[in-house]
Amino acid sequence: MHYDTREEAATIFNHDGTKPIYMQIAEWLETEILNDHFKSDEKVYSQYQLAEMFTINPATAAKGLNLLADEKILYKKRGLGMFVTANAREAILMKRKSGTLKHLIQELVLEASRLQVSEGELIEMIKAARNEEGKE
């Protein structure tokens, strides 16, 4: 999703300090790639463009870009900027499935256990949530 105004773009970040801004920048760029706003070998925003869009320090933006380069989601072309790798989408999906989604599921299962929600009930709740998602 491309943002037209700084205010609109800045609303995506969580400023409570629980997750560093550079990590939020990296996750936002990953989501942009997943949503096909950036395709393989396409140039992404520069650190200065990101800094202006989100009203952050360019060094913070650069740290987010470099994190994705370290994870082989982006690659650098000297003097030209950062570009999306050929397998970026698959790498992001794998990372999020094995990391983020697994963590959320562990939390969900733990909370269900605390609330004495059976496995069957939990599965039905997940199915209902998926059905609701499909209606939107």
pLDDT tens sequence across 51-94 = 999 999 999 999 999 999 999 999 999 999 999 999 999 999 99
What's 43's DSSP letter? B
What is the average per-residue pLDDT within 89-107?
90
Domain that holds residue 130: 90-135
Same domain, residue pair 66 and 112: no
CATH number at residue 36: 1.10.10.10
Same domain, residue pair 70 and 115: no
80 located within any domain: yes
1 located within any domain: no
| Residues 6 or more apart in contact with residue 53 via CB below 8 angstroms | 3, 6, 9, 45
How many domains does the chain fold into?
Answer: 2
Helix axes 88-95, 21-34, angle to 10 degrees: 120
Task: Tell me how crowded residue 62 is: count the other CB atoms within 10 A of its CB.
Answer: 19
Same domain, residue pair 32 and 49: yes
